[in-house]
Amino acid sequence: MSHSKRIAVLTSGGDAPGMNAAIRAVTLSALSHQHQVFGFFSGYNGLINEHFTELNAASVTDIIHRGGTILKSARCPQMHHPDGLLQAANSLRKCHIDALVVIGGDGSFKGAQALAEHWSGQIIGIPGTIDNDINGSDETIGFHTAIDTALGCIDKIRDTAQAFERTFVVEVMGRDCGIIAMEAGLASGAEQIICKELIDDEPQFLQKLYEQVKANINNDAGHSYVLVMAEHSLSISAEQLAAQLTEHSGVESRSAILGYVQRGGAPVAGDRILATQLGCSAIDHLNAGADGVMVGVVNNQLKTLAFEHTSDTQQRNRDFVARLKRFRR
């Protein structure tokens, strides 16, 4: 059996439903191996400011179903500078931390990589982001819930779109990745999905879109038209696109930006299970001496991937696009 370690855990970057489930799994798994667990608050800010608390079984009781994160989350610009990295590393040494578990996304893992240059302890990552834009895991914690939340909103928007015979542009989150739009669009039966991965020529795409919307309404009186649009997918906003659809197609159009509602809410079963699997896997790999890697699930198998490869998502995005095209005309 591995010797007792002092393990730190933090949640960083955009919050995602299921982060609490991951904290719970990390804590309970670590305690079962006689390790001590310390939760640092507000991401890397907690390291820099030495703001932490010791976690025990009671600390994580009754949190698996809760959205958000009991450890809070934040961006930490100081981690982009040597002084901030040194301060975080010194705090870890001062607190006699042996290993750090980082729950977050791409930016959080880049911070972990940079920190590793100043601190010799083990670092393991757990992918927690609704964007599902991390290489090395088929899904990230929070993605299932974000899709479910977006789907519920789109279904309600469909009701009012049909009542008024309107076109709706529904913008979903995803940062620079269109996977939320693709999945929510498929699940909701959206007439159009708009994301960077599916657009080769924006002007040509928009012109064709205007024609499709106009033809759809003209050929099927009383029908609605719903477009699910990934944020940052076009050079114009969802509101501007809706205005242009009205102008070019003659069809009354509205926009709806779902925004931060997608980050909230109780995690669905898929996210709770994924978070539990990854949290336990993180401790198993720490016990085995792993360092500088993220744990993930690929083809239903627990895997690890070095931090420097987690942002390489080109092939992953191509796979999603290929899958989408198989389901759509």
Question: Annotated active-site positions, please?
Answer: 131
Integer Cα distance of 294 and 305 in angstroms: 5
SS3 74: coil
Q: How many residues does the chain have?
A: 329
How many Cβ atoms are within 10 Å of 75's Cβ, its own excluded? 16
CA nearest neighbour of 156 among 36, 258, 53, 34:
258
CA nearest neighbour of 324 among 175, 196, 235:
196
**Is residue 242 within 8 Å of 167, Cβ to Cβ?**
yes
**Is residue 152 within 8 Å of 264, Cβ to Cβ?**
no
How many Cβ atoms are within 10 Å of 269's Cβ, its own excluded? 9
